Amino acid sequence: MYLLSLMSLPAFDNCHVFFWQVGLRVVHICLPEGSSKDEIVNEILRLNEDPNVQGLALDLPESSYSSKVLNAVKPEKDVDGLSDVNLGRLVRGDAYDCLVYPTACAVMELLEDLDGKMVLLVGADGALGASLHCLLQRRGATTASCQWKSRELQNKLHHADVVVVGSTKPDDVPVSWIKPGTTIINCSRDLLSGKHNCGQQNNHAAENAVCSLAVAMRMQNMVKNTERWIQSQQFRKWDLRCLKLQPLSPVPSDIEISRAQSPKAVDVLAKEIGLLTDEIEIYGQTKAKVRLSLLERLKDQPDGKYVLVAGITPTPLGEGKSTVTIGLVQALTAHLNINSFACLRQPSQGPTFGVKGGAAGGGYAQVIPMEEFNLHLTGDIHAITAANNLLAAAIDARILHESTQSDKALYNRLVPVVNGVRGFSPIQFARLRRLGINKTDPGTLTEEEISKFVRLDIDPSTITWQRVVDTNDRFLRKITVGQANTEKGFVRQAQFDIAVASEIMAILALTNSLEDMKERLGKMVVANDKKGEPVTAEDLGVTGALAVLMKDAIKPTLMQTLEGTPVFVHAGPFANIAHGNSSVLADKIALKLVGEKGFVVTEAGFGADIGMEKFFNIKCRASGLVPSVVVLVATVRALKMHGGGPNVTAGAPLKKEYTEENLQLVADGCCNLQKQIQITQLFGVPVVVALNVFKTDSPAEIDLVCEIAKQSGAFDAVPCNHWSDGGRGAVKLAQAVEKAANQKNSFKYLYSLELPIVEKIRIIAQKVYGAQDIELSPAAQSQIDRYTRQGFGDLPICMAKTHLSLSHQPERKGVPTGFILPISDVRASIGAGFIYPLVGTVSAEHST
């Protein structure tokens, strides 16, 4: 631990031995003589922000002790108790929260029975005077203060039982004014620095006693401050002030509800849930990035319970998984007083401005402010866009340069002479090792080695890395690049994908640390060379640049629900060509913050057959976390569709079958719910069905769904009204989840990574989707062979399939059987760490 003493006087060095003996590391900063108050304040402010400084003691010339200087020290680092905040706490009687001026403590140690005695403070101003008044009066003494030149000095000295001298006694004040037997304590010198201010040389023993005690009291303050700092590093019980909801009927629009609620300041929320001030980076009033250092601080803190919200096969309208997620945490924390955290994906601007809209939840179960959540947030998607497009630019530039320059010219560009010296960079050393060239001097490479080093020989027809933009811009889906004359005829067809489809987004969601992210970024395969070998971002030498662009995006963003409970928003990979889950890091941080009895609730995209399966087989493998409960969201509307109801189309009014009671349609459609429960049971995790209730659902329909769900193996099935009632409408769901989390958990993965790629695909197709078998196209088989040969065969599988059916055909509802699942192609996200087969007509072109 560091404790810094900001001093312009050297005597404090004599006390260092004492601090070392109590285990404190003290750094003595001696400012130049004559430093201005502004210079002193600037140094204090620098030390305030240094997380390695746990305490700050000031020993300055008396003229420098101004209110501006004393109050510049953060109260929690003010070991001498000189700031107004610490003095105010002392006056209020908050002894635990304040540190008391050491000289005042020393005086109190020397005085014994004070009850009923008159104590006169002469020339004791500022912190010393204020502290002594409080402390003496609490010991039963009557206090008075006086200056040396006061006309009442002689009279007050005559009646005093104890005199505390705070400044040098003038020569014209005779000692005879003090009545015999009076106790005199002399504090008239700077006791902590050893500087004498008084001319008298008598009573040295008493002075030395006060001096020694003051130093001891400062040490005690430092130890107390250190103990408080150590305690602050431990897990703390939440002191959360929830926000009140007053639901209206009919329920207003989402944006009206969001704007009607006044969110807490995010720094207040952070403090309530145990985050330290140096662990957050505030973005405005309602958002903050949380630093990954928290994981190290709370590494020994047991994790809370881990809950996944998944769903049945949805209608095109969605069935409310995000709303259930928010409603559940509002119920757990605001109504059951259980620590909980929601972890959600950041929405893409494409769907937000499209038919789907935002992803902040809905009704009285939302993340607020809604606009902040849905638009820009803290810029993570923009960072991904910048990193992705930097890599795309590097690919084309490298092809151009290799096609127009000699080996020597390329070598001189890649390994330039700087100040007369040529040297390889660390990333170039890594490339040399991969090429089997064990040389460190650039001047010793042979012509053949130079050629191997400088030429990636990218085959343009194999480039899989596309540029991205976070807008639905259909005219960028196919483009031609290289039209300018400066590109010397290097023209090729390319495309823009939606930004969240970038592999960098999937990496952000699956990474465990900054180092892990950098390693994953380097592994990204962007093309093949002309020999059929993979070319990576590491080969292009841009890994460091990509990591720098992503250095802030790796930190989760803290927000809050309508009821003031905490939410992490981080990462937003699609659930078809990627795994469709929020970040591992957000989950890990939240699991530490909620404590052993708390809950972290996260959501998986699409139905359980897609998002949940990927959560278990991909995300849980990457994180090492074990889920406690699955909440399976269903709606009467979707079940009627699976029971044979008419098509549901986004933007079109629902047919009467969906707005009128129809028990037969519901019963027939429950086959899909039963299948999704069975899929969950494959992984050995308890499942609670959350029936998201709509106003058109009849009591009989609701009861029927809950009964069938429980008969089909669900731990419980609960109707939920959080959309209209907030957390209060999901209390029964929260209670069911809490009970289910205490059940025996036998979590297991669906397949072993060591199995061949084809076999892993087959297991998912048969056990999850219910397919009879799979059928590989020649292109798919060729890619599988290539990835196996390249050493990627032990990666998990991320199936890119329609979310509107268990099969590959969106129109087949319910539980299709007997179908052959066609695999049209197979692609790989090597950095993210998965193989993604394309099922049926699903395309790898992630449209903008």
Cα–Cα dist 618/795, whole Å: 9
Cα–Cα dist 661/369, whole Å: 36
What is the CA angle 780-786-787, rounded to 5? 90
- Helices 126-138 & 84-92, crossing angle to 10 degrees? 10
Q: For the chain, what percentages of helix, strand and coil (3-state, to nearest 5) are there?
A: 40, 15, 40
From the list 143, 286, 323, 333, the catalytic residue is 323
Mind spelling out the 3-state secondary structure of 713-758?
CCCEEEEECHHHHHHHHHHHHHHHHHHHCCCCCCCCCCCCCCCCHH
Between the two ends of the chain, the Cα-to-Cα distance in Å is: 52
Cα–Cα dist 27/52, whole Å: 11
CB 521 within 8 A of CB 527: no
**How do strand 820-829 and strand 280-283 relate by DSSP bridges?**
unpaired
**How do strand 53-59 and strand 118-122 relate by DSSP bridges?**
unpaired
CB 90 within 8 A of CB 100: yes
**How do strand 305-311 and strand 629-634 relate by DSSP bridges?**
parallel
Instruction: State yes or no: is 723 an active-site residue.
Output: yes
Instruction: State yes or no: is 429 an active-site residue.
Output: no
Sequence-distant (6+) residues with CB within 8 A of 486 are none
From the list 453, 465, 694, 819, the catalytic residue is 694
From the list 453, 574, 606, 819, the catalytic residue is 606
From the list 386, 575, 740, 832, the catalytic residue is 575
Q: How far is CA 18 from the centre of its chain?
A: 40
Instruction: State yes or no: is 530 an active-site residue.
Output: no
Q: State the residue for tokens 């790629």.
A: 757
Give the tokens for residue 272: 């309530």
Instruction: State yes or no: is 323 an active-site residue.
Output: yes
Instruction: State yes or no: is 551 an active-site residue.
Output: no
Question: Which residue, among 708, 703, 647, has the nearest Cα to 673 in the 3D structure?
Answer: 708
Could you write out the DSSP letters of every residue in 746-807?
Answer: ----SS-TTS-HHHHHHHIIIIII--SEEEE-HHHHHHHHHHHHTT-TTS-B--B--SSSSS
Cα–Cα dist 570/573, whole Å: 10
Amino acid letter for position 127:
A
From the list 228, 356, 477, 710, the catalytic residue is 356
Instruction: State yes or no: is 788 an active-site residue.
Output: no
How long a stretch of residues is the chain?
848
Amino acid letter for position 544:
G
- Coil, strand, or helix at residue 689? strand
From the list 453, 599, 683, 723, the catalytic residue is 723
From the list 321, 398, 518, 640, the catalytic residue is 321
Q: Is the backbone of residue 620 left (phi > 0), alpha (psi -120 to 50) or beta?
A: alpha
Cα–Cα dist 189/169, whole Å: 11
Cα–Cα dist 216/107, whole Å: 12
- Coil, strand, or helix at residue 45? helix
- Radius of gyration of the chain from Cα atoms? 35
Q: Active-site residues: which are they?
A: 321, 323, 345, 356, 575, 606, 694, 723
